[in-house]
């Protein structure tokens, strides 16, 4: 393992939750302004996180905490694989495994709200997984490798060859970031008929673990967007980071502009996007190159 890889992993472990918490705070502030409110301070997510740590631990059962901790561990491992320049397919499969642990934790609580939320989470996974896999295949077709280290060091910029896949990924990113209209299984806001969905029975330190896991997750999800715009050109990382920030702003705008839709619409829309934008883009690359 090279020094650069070690530095990348350590930087992710330390900086990702800080950046993720700041993004959450900026999200709340921008959302409040869009709704005509002043909003909480940008550091409010960190205040909430430490407040959760101080609360008395109340859990339905011990196995619930075990599954939630597995969720955090595998989210962190996924990010480490990504920023270490590992295999893109391995990153996707590890992320899926992490999501499954969260679903199992929700099922173990025996709460009707949490169980319905867990069922919806599985439906959402069915909705976004095809587009995520198509994204990995697209990078393989233009770079000849699934290795993230080779993708970022390529002389080709992904967006030039994968515009349809990029738009498709941004579409399903709304699901992964748990934004309306596809915040079906849980929401960071109190506007669901399921209360807090699959996290209804989580509180205290357990909820704090889930929050920091989401901060880690959001950073490497934006890392996927970063891959579309980075290559060997010196200014490409700056462009890639700028696009990531713009993309996140667009997700906030969508979140505040649309009401939540039914799960049937989420699955149908995601698969239609995967076929029309993703799969067609793959066919064009395969036959044109």
> pLDDT of 208-248, one tens digit each?
999 999 999 999 899 999 999 999 898 999 999 999 999 99
Give the DSSP H/E element, type plus range, for residue 127: helix 112-143
Query: CA geometry: angle at 170 spanning 196 and 146, to 5°?
Result: 110
Q: Which pLDDT does position 87 carry in this prediction?
A: 92
List Cα–Cα distances, 55 to 5, 52, 66, 207, in angstroms.
37, 5, 18, 10
Q: Which pLDDT does position 27 carry in this prediction?
A: 92
Instruction: Give the mean pLDDT of 182-189.
Output: 69
Which of 6-20, 250-264, 272-286 has the weakest average pLDDT? 250-264
Per-chain mean pLDDT for the chain: 88
Using a cut of 0.85, tell me whether the model's pTM lies above it: yes
Query: SS3 helix, strand, coil % of the chain, rounded to 5?
Result: 75, 0, 25
Total count of domains within the chain: 1
Q: Which pLDDT does position 190 carry in this prediction?
A: 53
Cα separation of 47 and 125, whole Å?
31
Cα separation of 193 and 120, whole Å?
13
Cα separation of 206 and 109, whole Å?
13
- Angle between helix axes 236-255 and 3-34 (nearest 10 degrees) is 30
Instruction: Give the mean pLDDT of 189-208.
Output: 70
Q: Which pLDDT does position 187 carry in this prediction?
A: 64
Q: Which of 49-58, 63-72, 113-122, 254-263 has the highest mean pLDDT?
A: 63-72
Residues 253/176/27/35 CA torsion (nearest 10 deg) = 40
Q: Which pLDDT does position 136 carry in this prediction?
A: 93
Cα separation of 261 and 265, whole Å?
7
Q: Which residues contact 73 (CB under 8 A, 6 or more apart)?
A: none
Percent of the chain with pLDDT over 90: 54
Which residues constitute the domain of residue 155? 3-288
Instruction: Give the mean pLDDT of 266-283.
Output: 91
């Amino acid at each position: 393992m090279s020094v650069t890889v070690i530095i990348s992993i350590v930087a992710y472990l330390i900086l990702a939750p800080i950046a993720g918490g700041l993004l959450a705070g900026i999200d709340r502030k921008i959302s409040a302004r869009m709704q005509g409110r002043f909003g909480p301070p940008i550091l409010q997510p960190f205040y909430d996180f430490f407040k959760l740590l101080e609360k008395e631990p109340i859990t339905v059962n011990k196995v619930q905490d075990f599954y939630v901790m597995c969720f955090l561990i595998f989210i962190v491992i996924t990010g480490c694989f990504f920023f270490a320049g590992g295999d893109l397919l391995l990153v996707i499969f590890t992320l899926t495994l992490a999501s499954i642990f969260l679903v199992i934790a929700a099922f173990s609580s025996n709460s009707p709200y949490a169980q319905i939320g867990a069922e919806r989470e599985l439906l959402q996974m069915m909705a976004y997984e095809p587009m995520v896999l198509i994204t990995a295949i697209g990078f393989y077709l233009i770079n000849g490798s699934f290795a993230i280290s080779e993708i970022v060091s390529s002389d080709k910029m992904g967006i030039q060859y994968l515009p349809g896949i990029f738009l498709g990924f941004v579409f399903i990113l709304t699901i992964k970031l748990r934004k309306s209209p596809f915040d079906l299984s849980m929401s960071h806001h109190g506007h669901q008929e399921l209360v807090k969905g699959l996290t209804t029975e989580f509180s205290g330190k357990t909820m704090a673990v889930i929050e920091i896991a989401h901060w880690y997750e959001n950073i490497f999800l934006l890392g996927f967007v970063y891959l579309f715009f980075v290559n060997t050109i010196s200014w490409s990382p700056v462009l890639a980071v700028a696009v990531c920030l713009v993309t996140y702003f667009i997700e906030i705008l969508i979140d505040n502009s649309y009401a939540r839709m039914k799960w049937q619409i989420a699955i149908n829309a995601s698969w239609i996007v995967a076929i029309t934008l993703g799969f067609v883009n793959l066919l064009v690359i395969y036959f044109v190159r």
